[in-house]
Structure 1
Amino acid sequence: MKHWKRGLCGLLATALMVPVGLAAPVSGEKGLSDLEGHWAQKEVEAAVASGWVDGYPDGSFKPEKSITRAEFTKMLLDAIHLTPDSETVAWMKVHATMEDIWGNPTEYTPKLYDMSGHWLTSQGWLDAALYSGMVVPDDYNGKNFRPEKAIARYEIALMTDRALGLVYPASQPVEGELPFTDKEEILDWMKGYVNESVKAGVLKGYPDGSFQPNKTSTRAEAVVMIQRMLEEMEEGLNPDITVVAQYHKVADNEDKIVAEKETEKIQLQMVDHIIYASLNDLYAVRKEMMKESGDKGVNDISESWWPIEQKVEVGVSGGNLLMIDDYQMGNVKYSSSNSPYYFYAPVRALYGELMIPVYDLEYSHDEVYVHWQGEWDMEENTLTIPIIYVKPIFTGA
């Protein structure tokens, strides 16, 4: 899934037909006619240059025009590369999972009842929103999205939190009171999302100390909030580090290094002193190295994506045993081969994919073994990542 590896700042948009209000981009050197001197001029011009928002055919941007739920959804998805034709969205649709009424995994089949014929549906943006988890039908009364309704600030908090992979922390009880004079207007289920969006710097309070959760937003405000979200999401991308993948096979209580190779196929990100790696890339490289090693266990691997919980499960079956790796955005706790572990920091989200911590430059790595913990060579500027396959019992893998 390499569609999003197109550079740190070059968020190239998909060439799709768009509705009035998100019209074809204006061209020319004069820029947008109604942005000169506007408080959001810099951010809007940067967004237009990046390709995830456009002006109108008459050369204007209409920065103070209200933005609808549908328009914000398309803008957000475009900014984080979850376009209808992206490889990540295709993978999500194939592997989307939910719990049935008995608590068992089943296919995720989201449905909104008022979207038939809407441009968001016909152009594929609705599927991208639903299967990525940016839009959850149960959040809307009667599962009616009301796409042309102006979007409220609390909804922007909710959707940008999802884009940043913060559903898990947002669902936890908020410690203390929110620091806003109108906190009583923020419903209990919103509080965690508002809190996380403010902590991430995406939304801010007003000078009078209020948050105004139900206030609708303008096009300019929406662009600025998405730009702030991207700054948080894209921090430390593409550090100059050489990656070596070291394939381990664990069987019969023996950890055997089967193969080792340098690779450019694993996306890295460094935030503060922690190096993160793309979970999808790690498993893709594992499959590749298993095949290269002639390991038949690659045929027993299954994957699932849980949009509402923002988690990925990778299962390995063998005989009567199913061993599952379970990772969730925003959570430090995870499981590997059905055993619990803890990362150095919460799992991050990058363009809809999970970025897991693989090395902490300030951690004493000799003290305890942590799954996925890399080995750092400062002189060579090289990170060796153990990519482990645990052979299930009773299998011919």
Structure 2
Amino acid sequence: MKHWKRGLCGLLAAVLMVPAGLAAPVSGEKGLSDLEGHWAQKEVEAAVASGWVDGYPDGSFKPEKSITRAEFTKMLLDAIHLTPDSELVAWMKVHAKMEDIWGNPTEYTPKLYDMSGHWLTSQGWLDAALYSGMVVPDDYNGKNFRPEKAIARYEIALMTDRALGLVYPASQPVEGELPFTDKEEILDWMKGYVNESVKAGVLKGYPDGSFQPNKTSTRAEAVVMIQRMLEEMEEGLNPDITVVARYQEGWKGESIVQEEETNKIQLQIVDNIIYASVKDLYDVEMEMMKKVGHINPDNRMGFQWWPVQQGIVVLNVTVYDYYNYGFQMGSTKYYWLGFDNEEVYCAPARALYGELMIPVCDLSHYDREPQDEWKGGWVPETNTLTLWMLYQSPRDWP
């Protein structure tokens, strides 16, 4: 999308799929009556213990019952903590952007025409799905979600890819042919999503070599696929790292104004690379800017969240000028200074519970001192990561 490169480029209650008033959570200690010996017993019991799915009041789980689009949506959102009361979802709603008819950023106003009165809407799950980008109206014919329709495997590929932040790679041409005997049944625009979900290990083909994209899924299958997605997403979560925020003034960071440890930046290590939440990075930077008096009405920072593209634009505005940074999940590229400048990370950005995670240190090729563009300094002897929180005043611009 041209502008994306430029602007970065009540029926259900506490339980997942049982009507309110008829269901109650089943204790994991008691077990579920119809899971003993089931192929998905381990995964379902783990999901119940984690709290993002429950059994029925009679103690059963009904693992072979089909699951609807609405039910799967709630299950997915609950599993990745994007619940209606989530602070991140509230932030996304405030900052969500889309293109207007002239290609300029405007308020994101997603709309599905058949959701009025549905429990997914009344309980707030629909807003969470739309503003987080887990559900995109244009993916559905006539923008009708048909929430009670049994969900198909290709749709699960689409939604789990979105949860994993894989929209960018899934939107690229697939190299070669998909390795399935029924690949002709997969719509062209879905091939990249199927390919990425298979690469991530979330969905798999069948023993006969088929993928069966239109086959509907059961409750047990849905749980297993979300568990696989979580395994991929949560790799290297919460590593034992000390984070030091070093606030510096000047383009080259000659003047260290403040330095302090912080536990406010979510980290994970994947393939020997440290990732950090880009939103947390800027939140900590803004806190430090406020402490030293560098934020005022004429010098401020703003955000844009693009749910469809899964990207964040950071706007730094002063009385003299402005400069932007743009990040996108699943991409190695990021943009700065109005998106005229393109840089490349050592690895693609990731998604973690809806957060955009950027690589800040390659432990295979690290520097001990931090650099600009969130390139962290690493001291292996103490497991310490130092990050620049850089204030760029107009006189420091190159």
1:372–1:386 CA contact under 8 A, matched in 2: yes
**Hey, what's the Cα distance between the residues in 1 that align with 2:376 and 2:333?**
18
What is the DSSP-based 3-state SS (H/G/I as helix, E as strand, rest coil) of the residue aligned with 1:248? strand
- The verdict on how the C-alpha distance between 1:129 and 1:302 changes in structure 2, with shifts beyond 3 A counting, is same
Aligned CA distance change for structure 1 residues 277 and 143 (closer, same or farther; 3 Å):
same
- List alignment gaps of at least 5 residues for structure 2: 1-11
Q: Distance in 2 between matches of 1:384 and 1:35?
A: 48
Q: Tell me, in whole angstroms, the C-alpha distance in 1 between the residues paired with 2:254 and 2:153.
A: 51
Q: Deviations over 1:307-346 (max 9, x none)?
A: 0000001101123622111000001100234432211100
Letter in 2 for 1:25: P
TM-score, normalisation: structure 1? 0.91
CA distance in 2, matches of 1:393, 1:337: 15
Q: In 2, Cα distance between the equivalents of 1:363 and 1:224?
A: 36
Q: Distance in 2 between matches of 1:40 and 1:176?
A: 33
Task: Tell me the equivalent position of 2:273.
Answer: 274
Match of 2:170 in 1: 170
Structure 2 matches for 1:182-261, cutoff 5 A?
182-250=182-250, 255-261=254-260
User: 1:272-292 CA deviation, whole Å, 9 max, x = no partner?
Assistant: 210111111111100111111
Match of 1:345 among 344, 347, 359: 347
The answer to which of 59-68 and 254-263 deviates more is: 254-263
User: Who is 1:355 aligned against?
Assistant: 357
Tell me the amino acid that sits aligned with residue 350 of structure 1. Answer: L
Match of 2:159 in 1: 159
Map 1:276-295; keep pairs closer than 5 Å: 276-295=275-294
Q: Tell me the number of residue pairs that the alignment of Structure 1 and Structure 2 aligns.
A: 381
Does structure 1 conserve the Cα–Cα contact (< 8 Å) formed by 2:113 and 2:144? Answer: yes
Q: Determine the structure 2 residue equivalent to 1:20.
A: 18
1:262 alignment partner in structure 2: 261
Contact 2:35-2:63 at 8 Å conserved across structures: yes
Aligned partner of 1:133 in structure 2 is 133
Partner of residue 39, structure 1: 39
- Measured in 2, the distance between the counterparts of 1:357 and 1:292 equals 27
Q: 1:303 is paired with a residue of what secondary structure?
A: strand
C-alpha separation between the residues in 1 aligned to 2:40 and 2:49? 14
Identity of aligned residues (%): 75
Q: 1:137 & 1:392 partners in 2: Cα distance?
A: 42
Seen in structure 2, the aligned counterparts of structure 1 residues 305 and 390 have a Cα distance that, compared at 3 Å, is same
TM (norm. structure 2) is 0.91
Give how far 1:394 is off.
12
Contact 2:96 2:305 in 1 (8 A): yes
Are the aligned partners of 2:153 and 2:217 in contact in 1 as well (CA < 8 Å)?
Answer: yes
* Equivalent residue, structure 2, for 1:118: 118
Contact kept, 8 Å, 1:322 with 1:392, in 2: the verdict is no
Root-mean-square deviation (CA), in Å? 2.2
Structure 1 range deviating more: 16-25 or 62-71: 16-25
Q: CA deviation at 1:21?
A: 6.2
**Paired position in structure 1 for 2:380:** 378
Secondary structure of 1:296's counterpart equals coil
Looking at structure 2, the residues matched to 141 and 303 of structure 1 have their Cα atoms a distance apart, in angstroms, of 31
CA distance in 2, matches of 1:270, 1:102: 41
Evaluate the alpha carbon distance shift between residue 33 and residue 109 of structure 1 in structure 2; reply closer, same or farther with a 3 A threshold: same
- Please state if 1:101 is matched with 2:101: yes
After superposition, what is the alpha-carbon deviation per residue over 1:292-313, rounded to whole angstroms, capped at 9, x for unaligned?
Answer: 1111358511111000000001
Mapped contact 2:28–2:45 kept (Cα < 8 A): no
Alignment check: 8 A CA contact 1:18 1:24 kept: no
Q: Which residue is equivalent to 1:330?
A: 330
Aligned to 1:306: 306
Alignment-derived partner of residue 144 in structure 1: 144
Q: Which residue of 2 aligns with 1:11?
A: none
The amino acid across from 1:306 in the alignment is W
Contact (CA 8 Å) 2:361, 2:377: kept in 1 or not? Answer: yes
Match of 1:9?
none
2:8: which partner in 1? none
- Superposed CA deviations along residues 226-273 of structure 1, whole A, max 9, x for unmatched, are 00000000000111111101112235x764322111111111101121
> Tell me, what secondary structure is at the counterpart of 2:201?
coil
Q: Within 2, Cα distance between the matches of 1:58 and 1:295? A: 60
Unaligned 5+ runs, structure 1:
1-13
CA distance in 2, matches of 1:136, 1:117: 19
Question: What are the superposed Cα offsets for residues 8-39 of structure 1, whole Å, 9 maximum, x if unpaired?
Answer: xxxxxx98476526943113733111000000
In the alignment, which residue of structure 2 is the partner of 1:4? none
